[in-house]
Amino acid sequence: MNYKHIVSMVIMFATLNVMSQSEPYAVSEIPQELKKNANAVVRSYDVTVDLSSTNKMVVKTKRVITVLNKQGNRNINASERYDNNSKIRDIRAIVYDKFGKEIKKIRKNDFKDVSDVDVQTLYSDSREKYLDYTPITYPYTIEFTSETVSGTTAFLPWYLPLNSYFLSVEKSSYTLKYEPSLKIRIKEKNTESINLNKEESSGLIYYASKNINAIKPEAHSEAFVNIIPKILFASNEFYYEGVPAKAENWDELGKWVYEYLLKDVNDLPASTIFKVKNLVKNETDDIAKARKIYQFVQDKTRYISVQVGVGGWKPFKASDVDRLGYGDCKGLTNYTMALLKTVGIEANYALVYSGNYQQSFDEDFALMQGNHVILNLPIKNQEDIWLECTSQIAPFGHLGDFTDDRNVLVVSSNGGEIKRTKKYNIEENKQVINGECNIDSNGSINVEATIVSKGMKYDDRYYLDKFSKRDLEKHYKDRWNYINNISIDKTEFFNDKESISLSEDIVFQANNFAIISGENMLLNVNVLNKRTYIPDRYRNRKLSLKIIRGFKEIDNIKINLPSGYKLESLPAEVITETKFGSYKQTIEKNGENSLLYKREFVLKDGKHPKEEYSNFRNFWRDVVRKDNLKVSLIKKQ
Amino acid sequence: MKKYILLLFLSTSLTIYSQDYKFGKISKDELQEKYNPLDSSAEATYLYKYRKTYFEYREDDGFVLVTDIHDRIKIYNQEGFAFATNSVLTYKSGGAKEKMTGLKAYTYNLINNKIEDDKLKKDAIFETEVSKFRDEVKFTMPNIKVGSVIEYKYKIISPFYSNVDEFVFQHAIPIKKLEAVFSAPEYFSFKFNVKGYLEVNPVNSKVFDKIVFKNKTRAEHTSATPTKFSTSTIDYSNSVSKFNLTNIPALKEELYVNNINNYRSSVKYELSYTQFPNASVKYYSTSWEDVVKTIYKSDNFGRELEKTNYFKDDIDKLLANNSNPQVRIGLIYNYLKSKVKWNGYYSKYTNNGVRKAYIDQVGNVAEINLMLTSMLRYAGLNANPVLVSTRNNGVPLFPTREGYNYVISCVEIPDGVILLDATSKYSSPNVLPFRTLNWEGRIIRKSGSSALINLYPKNKSKNTVAMMVNLNENGDLDGSIRTVKTAHQAMSYRESYLETNKEQFLEILENKYDDIEVSDFVVKNGTDLSKPVMETYKFYLENQADIIADKMYISPMFFLTTTINPFKLKKRDFPVDFGYPTTNKYMINIKLPKGYVVETLPEAKSLALPDNLGEFKYIVANNGDVIQLTIDSTINEPIISSLYYDALKEYFKQFIEKENEQIVLKKA
């Protein structure tokens, strides 16, 4: 099917409508299957990208969406961004009622025009026009039409047949018209589950898909961005803010990033160079030098988000960051890189997708992307070191769940290369609790414990030593929310940044922890590390199981019983071993009136088919049940 | 209050070294200070906070309002870095706009015992248009380090002299020294209002000033005569108020506080009238009566209320032969709710007008509720608008036009008062949306007179739960549960139940109680707001007993047990605001597993809060193989003063403990 054919089809379709008097947008026309789990249904979504030259891109969008209920309002997406390099030529919308009858027209000037700045961002020069419509009744339909033009062609729109949870799509299409001498690369991802129609001819690429059912989010599954079908496009020749460029693989793209974005921003004042050289003059080892410079950057700078230009890809000059003492991720990373260079250490700028979900760059498809920048430090005969330059408190080489274990683009003067960031293994994500718990005859407890956290466990709480007393009180009361009436006597932290380990010393008491009924006292033996979370149950699990990160927990608690009571019976040792992890719990007698509670819990990271989800959930249920183990004490006669 | 004054005196004497507050005169002492000696937890502190607001006469514009700002901030640690970034919002309307000028700012650091400064340059100042009415200037200071002192000053010139921004005296960080000046020419009469816990007393004085006019005159018909310039002078006086405060503590957010701004110390100047030479007096507002008059007279309020033509036919048809007032209220209220939808905007004034809102079927709060009021009036009911300040707008402590931001409707019938808000789908007569439950509103009667009216509901919102369970010998439960909710609890139930996909709702319910399996789920009266909403279902739940040897320990409320005390902090300064009074009643029947008998049963217990604020009753009985438990807990007031905090905390602690008490069963 060529493009002309489609056009004539559309025309034919339109005439048919007039003749038959049926309203195409009527809600009754939506197939039943598409309404399941859907808050809104995309009736049609057609994007046409016109790349008739490398320095101009015109994008025409027509999107018809039927909103079924209140939650569906967020899927309207009737908005366009613009900035100094792009503008909105046309934007309008028509609202239809459930019978498909037009009820309201919205013109360009009725769209709200706002600055596209989020709370964390100091400044962004991009703006947004969006539709602010109050529905009178559900369902209703919005037909949104827009046309934008941009001088930057480095970022061709992607074809996303489905772009949200609780949303289904009746039909959508994507057309890329381009100057036939250009070379367009295409990458199709996760398209197995949909019925994709593709046409290609000279200067034209056309994709279409139909009837995609809504999916709903499920706990412990792969991130939405990693499972939805998407088709990425890139032109080997493009313009970036008025400057032409060429790149067809990661190496060339990296070269371009280096030449165009990084090469001219690494200047530093002589005074700073002197200071830094002086700082490391007694160090012989590169890692030790880098560690000092990283600390220097952390002490000198702070993170401020400023977005200028399309996507804001170019870092501030290193000399500006040096003068101002702040920058965004690009500026701070580039600054650290420039400082390291002055002492002869080569470090590389790395583009990455940040966030808990590990979103990767595709090894075989070069494309400008990512939302964050970190620093890569290659070390001879060793694993690379990665530096997060926006944090004033992160230890040297600690990435945490923000940027761990994913493919990133590492840029050097030699070109670009895909590398994988550090993965945190089970043994690294370790938490060890050693403690002693005294119980008195009223059931009150008095606890002294030391909690040592490493790896991701460290990542969860290394900022605790910055908390005020009041916030700490709140933190512990939330962390041990199964203990009521906690009163904290002492907290002390030792944050060892060198070995990346946090040690918390805590002393607290709580009234009525053990429950007295009659002659008995009922005691939950796991005082400090009781799991209460059970993964959600799904009547019909659809998505496969993903455990992003594993960990290991070891507890050793000495429990001193009240003098007037004795243990009725000693619970048996418990050992569970599954493909998701293991659990071991033992209680031993430790002299006349004392017990030793030992627990070891391991969760393994990994991927499993959806059928395994209920077993995974059962494993957690089992852990929760075992953590809730109570022993019965009885009054001595 | 006395305590505060004492504290202030005490703390004043603590400041030892004398300071120079002139712009740029930063001392080493200030840079060396490691923490605020009066509040060591402060991440930053205003060393000096200055604001002067005064009038300037400009030949082209007349009087304009000028505000000078000068702040000096000490940053103690990294958490304080946030105070190195500032945002200044300016207002604009029509062609007129506020302008920010003369921004000067420096960061000071002590380096090798030498003070170094870094100037804020243009590239770190950003201007953005936030909306049609607001511009924003943001700037962030260079070279911020732990220990830095920053200082900035600027001017805001405003043509909107009838609106003087509140003087805010208390912030999220402490202030060591605060100076504020307000000065207004004799032609402007301002009313002065104070709010908050601090003792704020201005020193007042009179300062004389003059305006010099340049006049151009040209003699007529004699082209040879050159233009003559002359000047004339008008003398006038300014009344000046000066505030001088030291060591103001930080104001911290607390949980369950209605709106922290209600407790923030501030002074508001409200223009009451202007009287220029040779002109008549123009009134703005002085009392609540005046405020009400101004609002009522506004074209976007009173006049809108008088319009009836646009709905006449529809309402005539709707009411037909019904003459019962209660029925008429119900018909109109439900009709309007289904006809006109709220667009999400709060306002006491109409925007597009009631007529357009009616035709478009969309309106803001004023359009909907003024329309409601006039429809009710048209139907012969004694209906009036009630001005409301929403919870996020704070409590209107003194008369200002901005004090109220919302309007609802009130019908007075012989049996009492009915409050109505037609913007919310699940709100019903006298069950107002939570956002409006904020102390008192002001009813405006046809005569233009007004009176206060309590917005908090008097009737308790009831939640009645009846649960029947069979306990199996392995600790599993199967049973059924029936929950009946009224008023506000019914409203929030409906909001979540009717606005979510049914399957999702069930999954949320199942996952809320960890592992429960729900069947035969039925909701009655979901959409019939005149009746309590009733939810029934059957359930199955494993492992609800601790089985140790031949004994079983159960917590008799099972998954309905309250386990977490919401009041955890030791001390509280602000009232606890529940929004509405509540009663929760549980009736639980437990059938014991075969072969088991009760060994220990908790004792009955009742608890009461002082001054009849609330009570808790717990009764448990064993009858053969059945245990019957009844729990009644009531909070009688929507709001409880912080004076009762300790009692409230203890009350919650004790009833939670009681609910968690175990019943011990034993094999017979």
Mean pLDDT comparison of B81-90, B331-340, B498-507, highest-scoring range: B331-340
If pLDDT is split at 50, 70 and 90, which confidence band does B4 have?
very low
Task: Give pLDDT, residue A12.
Answer: 41
In a domain, B280, yes or no: no
Q: Do B142 and A326 touch (CB under 8 A)?
A: yes
Residue A285 identity: D
Q: What is the pLDDT confidence band of residue B439, given thresholds at 50, 70 and 90?
A: confident
Which of A279, A278, A288, A413 has its CA nearest to residue A346? A413
Sign, CA dihedral B268-B272-B276-B277, equals negative
Q: Which of B411, B466, B400 is nearest to B443 (CA)?
A: B411
Instruction: Clarify whether residues B466 and B600 are in a common domain.
Output: yes
Cβ-defined contact of B569 to A470 (cutoff 8 Å)? yes
Q: Residue B378 belongs to a domain with what CATH number?
A: 3.10.620.30
Q: Is residue B217 part of a domain?
A: no
User: Which of A281, A278, A262 is CA-nearest to residue A270?
Assistant: A278
On whether both A220 and A130 belong to a single domain, the answer is yes
Q: pLDDT tens digits, residue range B460-515? A: 999 999 999 999 998 999 999 999 999 999 999 998 888 877 877 888 888 888 77
**What is the count of structural domains for chain B?**
3
| pLDDT tier for residue A1 given thresholds of 50, 70 and 90 | very low
- In the stretch 78-117 of chain B, residues with CB closer than 8 A to chain A read 78-79, 81, 84-85, 107
- Identify the band that residue B258 occupies on the pLDDT scale cut at 50, 70 and 90: low
pTM: 0.78
Average of per-residue pLDDT values in chain B: 88
Chain A nearest CA to B155, separation (Å)? 21
pLDDT digits (tens, 9 = 90+) for A252-293: 999 999 999 999 999 999 999 999 999 999 999 999 999 999
Q: Are A175 and A48 in contact (CB under 8 A)?
A: yes
Q: Of the candidates B454, B471, B496, which is a domain's last residue?
A: B454
- Whether pLDDT at A143 is above 90: yes
Query: Please, which residues have CB within 8 angstroms of residue A51's CB and are 6 or more apart in sequence?
Result: A57, A153, A156, A176, A177, A178, A179, A182, A235
Cross-chain residue pair B78–A537, CB shorter than 8 Å:
no
Do A413 and A453 reside in the same domain of the chain?
no
Q: Which comes out higher in pLDDT, residue B487 or B270?
A: B487
Token pair in block for residue B31 = 């840079």
Residues A355 and A459 in one domain: no
- Which residue, among A54, A368, A74, A29, has the nearest Cα to A232 in the 3D structure? A368
Which CATH number belongs to the domain containing residue A49 in this structure?
A: 2.60.40.3140
Regarding whether A293 and A186 lie in a shared domain, the answer is no
In this prediction, what percent of chain B has a pLDDT beyond 70?
93
Q: Which ipTM did the prediction report?
A: 0.70
Whether pLDDT at A387 is above 70: yes
Which of A123, A136, A485 is nearest residue B653 as measured by Cβ atoms?
A: A485
CATH of the domain at B475: 2.60.120.1130
- Given a contact cutoff of 8 angstroms between Cβ atoms, the answer to whether A590 and A578 are in contact is no
Counting one residue from chain A and one from chain B, the pairs whose CB atoms sit within 8 A come to: 136
**B249 vs A contacts (CB less than 8 Å):** none
Tell me which residue in A123, A137, A323 faces B128 most closely, judged by beta carbons: A123
Q: Are residues B446 and B363 in the same domain?
A: yes
d(Cα A81, Cα A87) in Å, to the nearest integer?
A: 8
Whether A25 has a pLDDT exceeding 80, the answer reads yes
Shared-domain flag, residues B294 and B382: yes
- pLDDT band at residue A49 using 50, 70 and 90 as cut-offs: very high
Question: How long, in residues, is chain B?
Answer: 668
Whether residue B166 is contained in a domain is answered as yes
Residue B372 has pLDDT above 50, yes or no: yes
pLDDT above 50 (res B13): no
Determine the length of chain A: 637
Residue B216: per-residue pLDDT: 67
- Cβ separation of B341 and A117 shorter than 8 Å? no
Cβ-defined contact of B144 to A326 (cutoff 8 Å): yes
Domain match, B396 and B347 both: yes
Distance in angstroms (rounded) separating the CA atoms of residues B416 and B38: 53
Taking residues B558-571, report their average pLDDT: 81
| Distance in angstroms between the alpha carbons of the first and the last residue of chain A | 92
Whether B344 sits inside 8 A of A134 (CB atoms) is: yes
Q: Across the interface, do A469 and B41 touch by the CB < 8 Å criterion?
A: yes
Give me the pLDDT at residue B220, please. Answer: 55
Among A69-78, A195-204, B571-580, the range scoring the smallest mean pLDDT is: B571-580
Q: Which of A486, A515, A524 to mutate to test the interface with B (most CBs of B within 10 A)?
A: A515
In the numeric block, the tokens 């707001």 are attached to: B529
Stretch B21-27: mean pLDDT, rounded?
Answer: 93
Q: CA B134 to CA A31: how far, in whole Å?
A: 46
Same domain, B593 and B613: yes
By residue range, what is the domain housing residue A395?
Answer: 247-420
- Same domain? A186 vs A259: no
Same domain for B435 and B483, yes or no, is no
The predicted pLDDT at position B366 comes to: 95
Q: Reply yes or no on whether the pLDDT at A529 is more than 90.
A: yes
Neighbours of A12 (CB within 10 A): 10
Domain final residue pick, A420, A448, A470? A420
CATH number (domain holding residue A572): 2.60.120.1130
**Residue A12 included in any domain:** no
Task: Note whether A70 contacts B499, CB cutoff 8 Å.
Answer: yes
Among the residue ranges A64-68, A580-584, B122-126, B302-306, the one predicted with the least confidence is B122-126
Strand partners, B589: B468, B628
Minimum mean pLDDT range among A264-278, A469-483, B597-611: A469-483
Q: What is the pLDDT of residue B8?
A: 37
From B126, B128, B515, residue closest to A534, measured CB to CB: B515
Mean pLDDT over B132-154 rounds to: 90
Residues of B in contact with A484 (CB under 8 A): 563-565, 653, 656-657
Q: Which residues of B touch A139 (CB under 8 A)?
A: none
What does DSSP assign to residue B447? Answer: T
- B314: pLDDT confidence band, cut at 50, 70 and 90? very high
* Confidence (pLDDT) at B15: 44
- pLDDT score at B222: 52
Three-point CA angle B155, B159, B162, nearest 5°: 105
Q: Which two tokens stand for residue A266?
A: 């690494």
Query: Is there a domain that residue A444 lies in?
Result: yes
Test B118 with A114 for CB contact under 8 angstroms. no
CA-to-CA dists, residue A261 to A174, A316, A318, A351, B301, angstroms: 31, 10, 12, 12, 57
Can you read off the two tokens belonging to residue A349? 């700028």
Does the residue A234 lie in any domain? no
A539:B563 CB<8 A:
no
Average per-residue pLDDT for chain A: 90
Model confidence at A4: pLDDT above 50: no
Q: What angle do CA A412, A417, A420 make, to 5 degrees?
A: 115
Nearest chain A Cα distance for residue B389, angstroms? 23
pLDDT value at position A118? 60
Longest CA span, chain A? 96
The one-letter code for the residue type at A631 is V
Angle between helix B365-378 and B325-339 (nearest 10): 150
Angle at A151 (CA atoms; ends A148, A157), nearest 5 degrees: 55
Per-residue pLDDT at B382 exceeds 60: yes
Helices marked H in A221-349: 224-227, 250-256, 270-279, 286-300, 318-324, 329-342
Output the pLDDT for position A6: 41
Residue B565, in any domain of the structure: yes
Last residue of a domain, one of A398, A420, A442: A420
In what order do the strands lie in the sheet containing A581-589?
Answer: A486-496, A501-510, A445-454, A430-439, A551-560, A594-603, A581-589, A574-578
Boundary of a domain, candidates A226, A260, A294? A226
Contact A115 B568 (CB under 8 A): no
CA angle at residue A448 from A442 to A449, to 5 degrees? 135
Check whether A11 has a pLDDT greater than 70: no
- Binning pLDDT at 50, 70 and 90, where does residue A40 land? very high
User: How many independent structural domains does chain A possess?
Assistant: 3
> Which has more confidence, A69 or B403?
A69
Confidence of residue A466 (pLDDT cuts 50, 70, 90): confident
Looking at residue B213, its pLDDT comes to 78
Distances (CA, A) of B586 to B476, B560, B580: 21, 9, 20
| Minimal-distance CA residue of chain A relative to B664 | A517
Provide the pLDDT confidence category of residue B218 given band limits of 50, 70 and 90. low
User: Nearest CA to B665 among A200, A517, A110?
Assistant: A517
In a domain, A125, yes or no: yes
Residues B440-456 pLDDT 10s: 999 999 887 889 999 99
pLDDT at A7: 39
Q: For residue B1, what pLDDT is reported?
A: 36
Distances (CA, A) of B625 to A82, B413, B628: 73, 53, 10
Q: What 3-state DSSP class applies to B207?
A: strand
The predicted pLDDT at position B571 comes to 73
User: Quick one: average pLDDT of B355-380?
Assistant: 95
Residues A181 and A259 in one domain: no
Of B140, B252, B344, which is closest to A304 when you measure between CB atoms? B140
Domain co-membership, B309 together with B264: no
Backbone φ, ψ for residue B609 (5° rounding)? -80, 155
Provide mean pLDDT across the span A580-607: 95
Query: How many Å apart are CA B544 and CA B517, to the nearest integer?
Result: 13
- Which residues span the domain enclosing B77? 28-206+236-274
Among A41-55, A60-74, B37-51, B495-509, the minimum mean pLDDT is found in: B495-509
Peptide bond into B602 cis (omega under 30): no
- pLDDT band of residue B93 (cuts 50, 70, 90) is confident
Residue A222 sits in the same domain as residue A270: no
B244 shares its domain with B376: no
Q: Tell me which amino acid residue B559 is.
A: F
- Cβ–Cβ under 8 Å, residues B404 and B348: yes
Question: What's the pLDDT tens digit per position in B178-195?
Answer: 999 999 999 999 888 887
| pLDDT for B396 beyond 60 | yes
